[in-house]
Amino acid sequence: MVTIPSAVVVISGKRKTGKDYVANLLQQRFSTELCAVLRLSGPLKSQYAKENGLDIAKLLDSSQYKETYRKDMIQWGEEKRNENPEYFCKLATSGAESERDIWIISDSRRTTDIEYFLKYYPKKTLTLRIEASQDVREERGFVFEPGVDDAESECGLDSYTDWDYMIINNESSDKLGQELQPLIQDVDKLLQLSKN
């Protein structure tokens, strides 16, 4: 039986803007029993690791190991997406974690990702764009890499404008918490609606 979530939060942003940090904050707010963080890059990295005999655990963390393979992995992922734009979204939402009431998609990168969730969960999907200044991103370890930071995997949503929420993640965690409140309230409303 396929579980239908009560709410889906689709997060997008450039590298080092804090997508994973925000996803984890939201998961803590709603509890791990109720909320799952689903990463579209997880199935991509897992399949890429299998096909290339690589260490999946190292590809999933933020180590230099992942950076070594990033360009090739991006190209491989683009080929898979060109064959089927829904491929990684379907994989990400078919695991055991998808049995939770709230899905947080922590790494939406293309319009096809957003279109997938809006198509299958139209009244349950909320979109969030996270931005941060170049200086703040560099403080967090960002270094521009040609072929990565100018590729579709980083720029595919630059011109997308239909965000439900946009936040700037340059400040303290208190400020970030305040900016997330409208989103949290709307997720709470969706949870209530699903119970009725």
Which residue numbers belong to the known binding site for ATP?
14-20, 140
Q: Which residues are annotated as a binding site?
A: 14-20, 140, 169
Total count of residues recorded for the chain: 196
Sheet of 35-38: strand order equals 35-38, 102-108, 7-13, 125-131, 165-168
Annotated binding site for substrate: 169
- For 172-177, the CB contacts below 8 A with 24+ separation are 173/25, 176/18, 176/22, 176/25, 177/25
Burial of 106 (0-12, 13-18, 19+ CB in 10 A): buried
Helix axes 64-83, 41-52, angle to 10 degrees: 100
Helix axes 173-195, 19-30, angle to 10 degrees: 50
Q: Is 36:100 a contact under the CB 8 Å cutoff?
A: yes
- 25 close to 183: Cβ distance less than 8 angstroms: no
